[in-house]
Amino acid sequence: MQTLYNKLKHYSIQDAIAFEEADRQFIALKNLWANIDYNPKKYYLALIIANALICYQLSGKWEDYWEEFSEYFSSLSPFGGKMSGGQIGGFLSEFIKLSKWNRRFVETKIKRLEKLRPFLKCFIDREEYYYENMIELRDDLAEVMNQNKVAKTIVFAVKMFSYGARNVFGKIVYFPSEICVPVDSRLTNIFEKYRENYTDINKFYFDLSQKLGIPELHLDAIIWNNSDL
């Protein structure tokens, strides 16, 4: 780990925020926020969370998919009174049936959206509370989806929710240090390269984040912007 730490120690949490806000996924959500009309703004963050939970086994890059998502829901504006909290799953179900980049396991993903419905009823109108209490958001999502708190889709949903919440509330709330990084193939390869005596990948990234003083979900952006690791 020491070698990896030495390569990253000059970065700060402000660097991480800058990387995040240059992320094509962040920009896609920012564009969606700018393009939807007034009424659907109420469901913007719920829509993001629901989409994040079906964002796996894609047919292309995640950035391409989130841009497609943004363009699709921007193009539906103005759809005003058509959307309600209970209809978010239905709107997303129709979207992924047409999606170029989310074509695998469509029926399974539609079932996941149905599973999420009870949570969304409680989530809407409590968005700012969840933004300021993202550990609770993670825990509630893990419970309703019957997944582990470190599951990739769960922590990724928190990350994307935060991206969207910055647009809604005009402020940055830092990720809690207790929320782990969403482990993907690149992070796994980096772990294998620098692991030394570590056997647990989550422990490895937790210790690295603690040593750097940067929460794991913010550290994720720094690692992704260092292609030579």
DSSP string for 152-167: HHHHHHHHHHHHHHHH
Stretch (H or E) spanning 140: helix 134-145
Tokens matching residue 87: 């209809």
Residue 173 near residue 137 (C-beta atoms within 8 A): no
Q: How many CB atoms lie within 10 A of CB 115?
A: 14
Tokens matching residue 24: 């094509």
Stretch (H or E) spanning 184: none
Give the number of residues written for the chain.
229
Q: Which residues are catalytic?
A: 152, 184
CA–CA distances in Å: residue 102 to residues 5, 59, 64, 89, 126:
35, 6, 10, 15, 29
Residue 156 near residue 179 (C-beta atoms within 8 A): no
- Cα distance between residue 35 and residue 89, in whole Å: 21
- Cα distance between residue 138 and residue 130, in whole Å: 9
- Cα distance between residue 76 and residue 57, in whole Å: 25
